[in-house]
Amino acid sequence: MSVRSLSLQNFSQYQEAISTSTSAKKSFSSIIDLYQRLAINEEELEALQFDSLLTEIQAQYDLQKESFRNEHQVLKSVRKAIDERILIVEQKLYLGLPDDLTEMDRLIAEQEAIVADQEELNENELALMEKMSQSDISYGKKLAALDQSKSNRELPLKSKLDRQLSQVALAEKQNTFRTNILSIVVILLIPIILDYIAYLLGLNGKTGTRLIFSHYIFLITFIIIEFFYAEKIKNLVSTFLAKKQCDSFLNEISASLENIEKAKRKLNINRN
């Protein structure tokens, strides 16, 4: 079954379930689920950021191409005008060289101007081709860099999730260890207190020793607790200890989720 992204409503449901849970194991399992679903949110944010950058790069490239098309259209108009001027001069020369020296000078000057304009036009066309080539190269580099950055971000996201899950696993182990220690203390402490009360009330019989292991109140209470209440005590202690750690995880997840959702909304607004 695929893991789904985490919504604010989902988080609230998890938070309520953990706060009322009577099982530390289930609470830590819920925290693991939350981190796994939060990782999907981060992947979705990365995808949105990638699409946003790709759209921006494409828009810039399209804008440049439109500018190049306009510039090329202007150069085509210039070339057409030059061709028309060349045709006019050729038609005049086809009729023969003019006898009027002034007219002859005009034709020569026009030919020289046409040559100069052609050279300038050729330079402008070469410059345009160079700009178009550089634009294509830059566009390709930006796309390659964007793809590389996407690949570079995927590994840190996976490492981040692995680190978070390791922290939860460690917290659960620490909770188990502390639960075992405190449970032993509680299981022993209750019979000791009851035995001491019985001792003060003179209910321990006529034994002359104060060693608790020779007192039947302690032994009976300890046996009853060990056989009938030990697991309940361990579960209560475990749940109590797990709550604080789970609250810390929940605060971290809540802050991350809020930041991700804000970033998503901002990207969606900018795209629209």
The model's pLDDT over 202-242, given as tens digits with 9 standing for 90+, comes to 666 555 555 544 566 667 777 877 777 777 888 888 889 99
pLDDT < 50: residue spans in the chain:
212-213
Task: State pTM to two decimals.
Answer: 0.74
56-83 CB burial, b ≥16 within 10 A, e <16: ebeeebeebeeeeeebeeebeebbeebe
Closest C-alpha among 151, 168, 147 to residue 38: 168
Q: Does some domain include residue 173? A: yes
Residue 9: count of CB within 10 angstroms of its CB: 8
Q: Does some domain include residue 164? A: yes
For residue 36, the model assigns a pLDDT of: 94
Q: Which residue has the tokens 């050279």?
A: 119
Interatomic CA distance for residues 234 and 229, integer angstroms: 9
For residue 100, the model assigns a pLDDT of: 65
For residue 68, the model assigns a pLDDT of: 95
Summarize pLDDT for 103-137 with one digit per residue, the tens.
777 777 888 888 999 999 999 999 999 999 999 99
For residue 105, the model assigns a pLDDT of: 75
For residue 203, the model assigns a pLDDT of: 63
Domain of 24 in residue numbering reads as: 8-271
For residue 96, the model assigns a pLDDT of: 65
Tokens representing 34 are 């939350």
101-200 and 24-94 helices cross at what angle (nearest 10)? 180
Interatomic CA distance for residues 35 and 250, integer angstroms: 10
For residue 66, the model assigns a pLDDT of: 95
Q: Does some domain include residue 138? A: yes
Residues 6+ apart with CB under 8 A from 182: 237, 241
Q: Does some domain include residue 1? A: no
Q: Does some domain include residue 246? A: yes
For residue 238, the model assigns a pLDDT of: 87
> Distance of alpha carbon 267 from its chain centroid, rounded?
13
Q: Break the chain down into helix, strand, coil percent, rounded to 5.
A: 90, 0, 10
Q: To 10 degrees, the CA torsion angle through 47, 53, 58, 60?
A: 170
Q: What's the structural domain count of the chain?
A: 1
Q: Does some domain include residue 3? A: no
For residue 212, the model assigns a pLDDT of: 45
